[in-house]
Chains A and B, each alone.
Chain A
Amino acid sequence: MSNVRLIARLDVKGKNLIKGIHLEGLRIIGSPGEHAQRYYEQGIDELIYMDCVASLYGRNSLGDLVEQTARNVFVPMTVGGGVRSVDDVRELLRRGADKVAVNTAAARRPELISEIANAFGSQCMVLSIEAKRKPGGWEVFTDNGREFTGRDVIEWAQEAASLGAGEILLTSVDQEGTRKGYDLDLVKAVSASVGIPVIASGGMGSSQHAVDAIHSGADAIAMADLLHYKRSSIAQVREDVSAAGIRVRVYE
């Protein structure tokens, strides 16, 4: 088992870092680049940039931000939102991203997962899943939880893994922005059904929530609200998670 990774997730709309509830009702937090830089200096293990409105406009507009961030931030960076083709991926990698997160375009055309994995390696290809509870399971949504794809989350996760996805960014739309904790049943169900790492996302309100998600099988923890509103710190989460007996990187 590797160290569990602590990841800052930065949702971006236009030039602003934003935060919503259930991926909606977005509030402006500030400059995404400045926050990324600060999280790096505070010892974050990885960063995720998500372009929230990209699917709406059909393209990812984070290239400049990614390039700017990569100048002074030396931890892995995943970039998602509006990634539709191998060329889109190439462009983001060229500008300093290490991985891309794909949701809408993969749901429409699953072969895209294989195309990206074949061109750049599975480690580059993160499948982003927006999951909403349904009786007896979860459904896959796209476009910030607005569009239902007709897919079942567990089946989709397995299919994506077999197509070459290297990681799953698993966002619970129900929990997102609520600070009430991750959807632990969802984390359990997905991490038990695939052999690739799962990043739990949506709902982290305290360090205990992170501990719970890791005990449910998460390999990595995405944090947003908790860090953006400074309700805790990366160092505090690291200390608490470590005190619970979970292996994390020692940041020095």
Chain B
Amino acid sequence: MSEVVTVVDYGRGNLFSVQRALEHCGAEVRLVSDPEELSGVDKLLLPGVGAFRDAMQALAARGMDCAIRDYAASGKPLFGICLGMQLLLDSSDEFGQSKGLGLIPGRVQAIPNQDGTGASLKVPHIGWSELCLGAERESWAGSLLEGLVPGRSAMYFVHSYMVVPDAAQHRVADCRYGDIAISAVIQRDNIWGAQFHPEKSGEAGLSILRRFVAL
């Protein structure tokens, strides 16, 4: 019997690629857009491309913001990808302050167009960047990143904003952009987020989805 992964469909972002990648990893994918459909769900994925406030409004309009919070409180796995990861935080600076789902303490900020040394950074940050260990991490054993090699395994990023978790312990993996450490994978208990697109990051990205499917 294949594992079912439920994907939140709130009209933002391209679900096709995520769905295809999950199926490739052996999952059966169910799309949901209604809070009632979340009952009995064992594994939830929150995708997203676009703007933070607009996405939160789209979730709220369907009552999905509360439903996702309730689901997260159940202790079952939740995985936010790209904007879906950013939505897990408390708030975002994008177009003024907007409230997020508040599942992982921290904020979403614009990627600066200069790093600490004054070197200019292109924004959006587009391309393949290597993952490195979060400051308080010694390895990725037992995490979704198990099997990947710090400083070597690269993922595909496309984003103009980045998450800044309050607690260093929630940073599973970072990537370097100039001399800035961008939070690439975050985790708090059963709640995971990835800034990059695992569904567009070749076999290395698929390995993360495979581990999520197997959680």
Given contacts A70-B20, A72-B24, A250-B152, contact A98 B14 (CB under 8 A): yes
Contact with A along B160-203 (1 / 0, CB 8 A): 10000000000000000110000000000000000001011111
- Chain B residues, Cβ within 8 Å of A167: 126
Contact of B16 with A5 in the complex, beta carbons under 8 Å:
no
Q: Is A87 an interface residue (CB 8 A)?
A: no
Tell me the smallest distance from the CB of B113 to a CB of chain A, in Å.
Answer: 8
Of all chain B residues, the one with the shortest Cβ separation from A99 is B158
Name 29 A/B residue pairs within 8 A (Cβ), A-sorted.
A2-B125, A2-B126, A2-B157, A3-B127, A3-B128, A3-B129, A5-B127, A5-B128, A40-B202, A43-B202, A70-B17, A70-B20, A74-B21, A74-B203, A74-B205, A74-B206, A76-B158, A93-B14, A94-B14, A96-B20, A120-B50, A121-B49, A166-B124, A167-B126, A195-B113, A219-B122, A220-B127, A252-B149, A252-B203
Distance between Cα atoms of A162 and B159 in the complex (Å): 18
Contact of A98 with B17 in the complex, beta carbons under 8 Å:
yes
Q: Decide if the interface of chain B is mainly helix, strand, loop or mixed.
A: mixed
Q: Is A249 an interface residue (CB 8 A)?
A: yes
Contact with B along A33-61 (1 / 0, CB 8 A): 00000001001010000000000000000
- Chain A residues, Cβ within 8 Å of B128: 2-3, 5, 45, 249
Which of B50, B149, B160, B202 has a CB less than 8 Å from the CB of A74? B202
Sort chain A's interface into a size bin: 20 to 34
Which of A96, A196, A219 has a CB less than 8 Å from the CB of B127? A219
Tell me the smallest distance from the CB of A72 to a CB of chain B, in Å.
Answer: 7
Which of A74, A120, A197 has a CB less than 8 Å from the CB of B200? A74
CB-contacts of A78-108 with B (<8 A): 93-96, 98
Contact of B201 with A74 in the complex, beta carbons under 8 Å:
yes
